[in-house]
Amino acid sequence: FSRAGERLYRTGDLVRQREDGTFDYLGRIDNQVKVRGFRIELGEIEARLQDAGEVREAVVVARDAASGKQLLGYVVAEDGADASGLLERLR
């Protein structure tokens, strides 16, 4: 999308150009989201959740809410994990 010799900046945004020259924003090519002006890497939060101990799997998703974007974390506990202790550590 530049003239020959111009420098481009890789933003991580995924877009497509229409025939009329306008662009459609399709999302991100990575797992970054913007929350209240800050770029957040979802994979880093997932890694911290898994570091809590007794966590087999973790995933974080961003959801649009009336108050703005919210991050939701989900974990799968290890077999035999102390659920109340794990919940306390994750808070």
Summarised one tens digit per residue, pLDDT across range 41-83 is 999 999 999 998 899 999 999 999 998 899 999 999 999 999 8
For 13, 71, 87, the CA distances from 53, given in Å and listed in that order, are 34, 21, 11
Which pLDDT does position 1 carry in this prediction? 56
What CATH code is assigned to 31-90?
3.30.300.30
Q: Does 2 score more than 70 pLDDT?
A: no
Which pLDDT does position 46 carry in this prediction? 95
Which pLDDT does position 79 carry in this prediction? 93
**Exposure string over 48-70, b if 16+ CB within 10 A, otherwise e:** ebeebebbeebebebeeeeeeee
- CA-wise closest residue to 52 among 85, 14, 20, 28: 85
Please give the residue that has the higher pLDDT: either 6 or 15. Answer: 15
Which pLDDT does position 91 carry in this prediction? 84
Q: Does 8 score more than 90 pLDDT?
A: no
Q: Does 40 score more than 80 pLDDT?
A: yes
